[in-house]
C-alpha cells in the first residue's frame, strides 16, 4: 500500500508508455502474420494452378511422344495411346484427369480409370501434323502443341 502511494507521475507515464509500445508491437505482429498468411496463400494457389496444369500437360505430352500411335476419343475429351498391344486411355471426367491401362480393345472407354490430376477440363485436338492439348484449371487454361510421329 505504501508502495502504491509512493508512485510518481513519471512512473505512471512510463508504465502507460510501455503498455502502448507493447500494444503497438502486438498490432505490428498481427499485421505481419496477416500479410504472411496472405502471401503464403497466394503462393500456394499460384503453385497449384501453374504446376498442376503444366504437370498434366507434360504428362500427356510425354505419354504421347512415347506411344506407337494415338487416337482422339470422346470428341477430344480423351486420347487412346497404343504401344505394343497395350492401350493407355487418358481422359477427362468428373473434375479430374483419369488414366487407365487395358490390354483389350473392347475395354477402351472413358470410365473406370484412376484419377491422376485435378482439372476443370482437358481437350485434345488434331491440327493435321500436330496435336493440341488444352487443360483448363481454376482461373485459366494452358495448352501445348505436340508433333505427331
Contact positions vs other proteins (CB under 8 A): 10-11, 14-15, 17-18, 21-22, 24-25, 28-29, 32, 35-36, 39-40, 42-43, 46-47, 49-51, 54, 57, 127, 129-130, 132, 142-147
* Pair 96, 117: CB distance under 8 Å: yes
CA–CA gap between residue 145 and residue 125 (Å, rounded): 10
Cβ 134 vs Cβ 76: under 8 Å: no
Min dist CB 81 to other proteins, Å, is: 17
C-alpha cell at 147: 508433333
Evaluated on CA atoms 127, 128, 130, 133, the torsion sign reads positive
Closest separation between CB of residue 98 and other proteins, Å? 22
- Measure the CA–CA gap between 14 and 56, rounded to whole angstroms: 62
Q: How far is the CB of 129 from other proteins (least distance, A)?
A: 5
**C-beta closer to other proteins: residue 7 or 115:** 7
| Of residues 79 and 89, the one with the C-beta less far from other proteins | 79
Amino acid at each position: 500500500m505504501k508502495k502504491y502511494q509512493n508512485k510518481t507521475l513519471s512512473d505512471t507515464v512510463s508504465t502507460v508508455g510501455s503498455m502502448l509500445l507493447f500494444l503497438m508491437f502486438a498490432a505490428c505482429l498481427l499485421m505481419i502474420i496477416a500479410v504472411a498468411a496472405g502471401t503464403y496463400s497466394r503462393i500456394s494457389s499460384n503453385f497449384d494452378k501453374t504446376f498442376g496444369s503444366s504437370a498434366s500437360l507434360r504428362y500427356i505430352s510425354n505419354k504421347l511422344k512415347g506411344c506407337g500411335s494415338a487416337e482422339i476419343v470422346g470428341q477430344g475429351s480423351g486420347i487412346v495411346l497404343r504401344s505394343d498391344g497395350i492401350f493407355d486411355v487418358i481422359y477427362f471426367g468428373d473434375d479430374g484427369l483419369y488414366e487407365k491401362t487395358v490390354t483389350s480393345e473392347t475395354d477402351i472407354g472413358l470410365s473406370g480409370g484412376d484419377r491422376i490430376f485435378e482439372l476443370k477440363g482437358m481437350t485434345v485436338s488434331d491440327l493435321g501434323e500436330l496435336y493440341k492439348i488444352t487443360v483448363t484449371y481454376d482461373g485459366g487454361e494452358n495448352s501445348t502443341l505436340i508433333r505427331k510421329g
